[in-house]
Amino acid sequence: MNKLFTPLSAGKLRLQHRVVMAPATRMRSESGGVPGDLMVEYYRQRASQGGLLIAEATAISPYANAYADAPGIFNDAQQAGWQRVVDSVHQQGGQIVLQLWHPGRQSLPELSQGHQPVAPSALLARETYGVGKRDDGGYAGKLFPLPRALLASEIDEILDAFRLSAQRAKDAGFDGVELHAANGYLPEQFLLDGSNQRQDRWGGSLANRARFLFDVLSVLTAVWGSGRVAVRISPSGIYGDMHDSDPAAKFSYVAEKLNDVGLAYLHIIEPRIVGPEDRDSTRYVDPVASRQLRAFYHGIIIAAGGFTPDAAEKMLLAGEADLIAFGRLFTSNPDLPARIRYGYPLTPYQRETFFGGDAAGYSDFPAYHQA
């Protein structure tokens, strides 16, 4: 495993190896979306010297949330909680960026101060579930309700919320931010014609549908400068009832236009993954992924999506990506980079403990040398 452990610069991030911790919603924040002791310990355990962690999807607004106990970054308490996380990662020699998230139509009113979900168009995300709290304190999947279409003035307000959250992330000491534009969330809802039927400057043409994504990136870059802003996309995604009449043209256009943004990296979800699940690959044809978009985007690419260490090494050697993000394996192997590097056995992940709960299946996995 040589290529995985060669240094690389991604924008202004100086990395000593190419094993990245993917953002993974674990629903372990304290009341009010505040990162607490449990999250501080979880991220501390997974920090490695010169490695990169991408923190989980973090709400930029109190009016848009899909998952109970997901963290936020829109008030002082949340910012202070994240600063503790960042400090713990930096003390271990790691680097960490925060994934900024607005779920759009994938929002639950009971988690969003009673607000109806908003989207580019009033189109339902059919058979797509958020996660709310039951009366007994457990978790339950709940269908998202019909959203309402955003007014143009409200789009400006959301852009301002991204700006304020980006500034809070910077003040908390993060090394950068990543825009979550995958998995059927708000930026992707604007991008795809299956979820955007607007006839104003935010819809219709390919360029108009991409406008929101690039306006958000412009806002984030104004706060952070070049080389510390990134974006995650899912070109073959169907999670959240997403579809487009020509996804190859859409994402090729986006990838090529991203060359002018000055990103730290472009983070691409491979087609085998749909949200938290694996895709039945026999049902889908001609997915758009890192291999295809490499021809259009000329900067650093992170590929994510169910990689084994062997498959990750092969992808790097083929030049199809520059870094590999691991999600599930990082949940049960806090020292994953060391285990891959030295050939230590990997602890199987526990899918039943992915979402919500306490330390069990979260921060109680020992590093190999501790085990």
Do the Cβ atoms of 174 and 97 come closer than 8 Å? Answer: yes
The residue with tokens 């919500």 is 356
37-46 and 76-91 helices, crossing angle to 10°: 30
Extract the runs of DSSP E, i.e. beta strands, from the chain. 8-10, 13-15, 19-21, 52-59, 95-101, 118-119, 129-133, 139-143, 148-149, 176-181, 229-233, 265-269, 273-274, 277-278, 301-304, 323-326
Asked if 171 and 181 touch (Cβ cutoff 8 Å), the reply is no
Query: Rounded to 10 degrees, what is the CA torsion of 99, 157, 254, 321?
Result: -10
User: For residue 156, what is the enclosing H or E element?
Assistant: helix 152-171
Stated as kind and residue range, the H or E segment containing 167 is helix 152-171
Cα–Cα distance, 369 to 371 (Å, whole number): 5
Question: DSSP 3-state assignment of 71?
Answer: coil
Nearest to 364 by CA among 6, 62, 45, 138: 45
The Cα–Cα gap between 23 and 127 comes to 24
185 as an active site residue: the answer is yes
User: Could you tell me which residues come within 8 angstroms of residue 159 by beta carbon, excluding any fewer than 6 positions away?
Assistant: 215, 216, 219
- List CB contacts of 318: < 8 A, sequence separation 6 or more: none
Could you give the CA distance from residue 36 to residue 30 in angstroms, rounded to a whole number? 6
Of the candidates 43, 63, 185, 297, the residue annotated as catalytic is: 185
User: Which of 103, 118, 119, 116 lies closest to 68 in space, CA to CA?
Assistant: 103
d(CA 220, CA 263): 10
50: left (phi over 0), alpha (psi -120 to 50) or beta: left
Token pair, residue 327, equals 């999600």
For tokens 């607007």, name the residue.
198
The residues that are catalytic are: 185
